Structure 1
Amino acid sequence: MILEWWNDLVDWFSSDQGWTFITSALVPFLAIVVGGIIVGMIARSSLRRLIGQQDRQAKAAAVAALIASGRRAAAWSTLSAGEKEHVDHQSSEAEVRVRLLPLKGADIAADWAAHKLAAMKKNSVNYSFQAEQDLAELQDGLIEWQSRPGRAKKLFAQDLASWKYETSEAEDELVVKQQEWASRQAAESATAPAASTSGTAGSGTTSATAEATPTVVISPDRS
């Protein structure tokens, strides 16, 4: 049954009517389908390239803004109040733009850059060379992250963990110093009333002694 059906189909395609159907309907339909698939693949590839180019441009702009903020932060001690406010606004905006990037490790890169900027502001007051070194590390780190986000993400995470450990140690040391200061203040406060009471008692004894001592008046000789 199936063989007979297949033979009838082959005979129909071999006939004039079947050949006309193939040339006038089937071939144009297949050409349209294949053409649509090819056009869709080309459009998808072009869209991917366009999105990738926009992502690269957005990332480059955000990184450039952070580096520009770093250059100003390296000379933080020489800036006026208005310039400092502008730099803070610029760096905050650049940090948000980095966080919004659809890239691996964007949040970690923003945290790392914010820590570097804060360190540069602090070091620019007394030791400008350290601020310049921090600026170079900021530039190299962000450019590395732009080129290879995965590798730079690991380095940023290691730096952030190290800084967090150092900060916790410094905070613990500060707590210990505050406790020692509070203990000294409590000891001094307890000692002060005792000393005051002792001084008052001594003054009372001296006054009583002075009152108990008789006064001797020597009259002149009238002979």
Structure 2
Amino acid sequence: MQSLTNFVDWLFGADAQPVIFSAVVFICAIIVGSVLAAWISRGTVRSVLAQRDHETKAAAIGTLIDAATEASVWNSLTPAEQVLSDRAVGQADIQLRLLPVKSSGIAANWAANQLAELKRTSATFGYQLEPALIEFRDRLIDWQNKPNRARKVFQADLDRWKLQSSSSDKAVLAEQDAWVAQQHHDKYTAPVAAPEFTPLAPTPARQLPSTYPANPSNPSTETQQLLDDVNALEVRGSEPLTRP
């Protein structure tokens, strides 16, 4: 009890004021430093996450724009190219929906509807799809820059398409898509005719003479004269030399 009384007397005494003041300042400095460090770390993490989301959004939008270009010439693609394009679109759609943006789902639905429309019209109106591609690109870029304003435009388009499409129209479009898909499948699965082989005419064998002349023809006169001169020179060279 006496120790507690002494501590209280020291705490409220004049000698303890500098120590208490230093301790309070030290504790406040630690608290303020911790708060500032947490605030700076939070800002850094948020900027890193925002940059990552921006890059993911840009990559997804780029993939969708490239897929729209392929969808405008959908019937001219091979089945393997169509499968690769659909896989890329599926991955971009998932990335777009997983973004921490409120309007990402609406943008993904709008892009999917537009891509389906481009594929459907590529069979007959492929040469008229350039304005639609430009509009598709500009809408997605506008959504990337101003998602709140673009969300209203996307939602208005989705509501309008929902009102315009009835059950009968959906059935007709489904039959049209099935017919186009069947035609495309038959185009790339038709058997290729083998080239005709024309046999070459046999070449007649060259016949050699069965007999040859026994004696060759007589040499010419000039050749015979040359041989006689050579023989005469040999005879002269073999005779002994005699002095007169």
TM-score range normalised by the length of the shorter chain: 0.5 to 0.7
- 1:39 and 1:20 map into 2 onto residues whose CA distance is 27
Long gaps (5+) in structure 1: 1-7, 175-223
Identity of aligned residues (%): 35
Residue correspondence of structure 1 range 67-82 to structure 2 within 5 A: 67-82=65-80
Of Structure 1 and Structure 2, which has the larger fraction of its residues in helix? 1
Matched ranges for 1:118-197 at <5 A = 118-168=116-166, 170-171=168-169
Aligned to 1:33: 31
Write the distance in 1 (CA, Å) between the matches of 2:48 and 2:171. Answer: 53
Structural RMSD (CA): 2.4
CA distance in structure 1 between the aligned counterparts of 2:170 and 2:117, rounded to whole angstroms: 20
- For the pair 1:116 / 2:114, whether they are aligned, the reply is yes
Structure 1 equivalent of residue 15 of structure 2? 16
**Corresponding residue for residue 211 of structure 1:** none
Q: After TM superposition, give the deviation of residue 170 of structure 1 in Å.
A: 5.0
- The corresponding residue for 1:54 is 52
- Partner letter of residue 28 of structure 2? L
* Larger Cα-atom Rg: 2
Q: Tell me the alpha carbon deviations over residues 79-125 of structure 1, each in whole angstroms, 9 at most, x when there is no partner.
A: 11110111111112211221111212211111111111111112222
SS in 2 for 1:102: coil
Query: Deviation at 1:130?
Result: 3.0
Shift in Å at residue 54 of structure 1? 1.5
Distance verdict in 2 for CA 1:39–1:172, change over 3 Å: closer
C-alpha contact (below 8 Å) 1:75/1:121 kept by paired residues: yes
Return the offset for 1:47: 1.6
Distance 1:104 1:161 in 2: 18
Q: SS of the residue aligned with 1:126?
A: coil
Equivalent pairs, count: 164
What amino acid sits opposite 2:83 in the alignment? E
Give the whole-Å Cα distance in 2 for the aligned partners of 1:85 and 1:133. 25
CA distance in 2, matches of 1:156, 1:115: 11
- Give yes or no for contact 1:119–1:131 (8 Å, CA) kept in 2: no
Deviation at 1:21?
A: 3.0
Partners of 1:66 and 1:94 within 8 A in 2? yes
- Structure 2 gap segments, 5+ residues each: 1-7, 173-244
Give the corresponding residue for 2:96: 98
Is the alpha carbon distance of 1:41 and 1:173 closer, same or farther for their aligned partners in structure 2, counting shifts above 3 Å? closer
For 1:106-158, what per-residue CA distance to the aligned partner results, in whole angstroms no more than 9, with x for missing partners?
11111111111111112222212332222112111111111111111111111
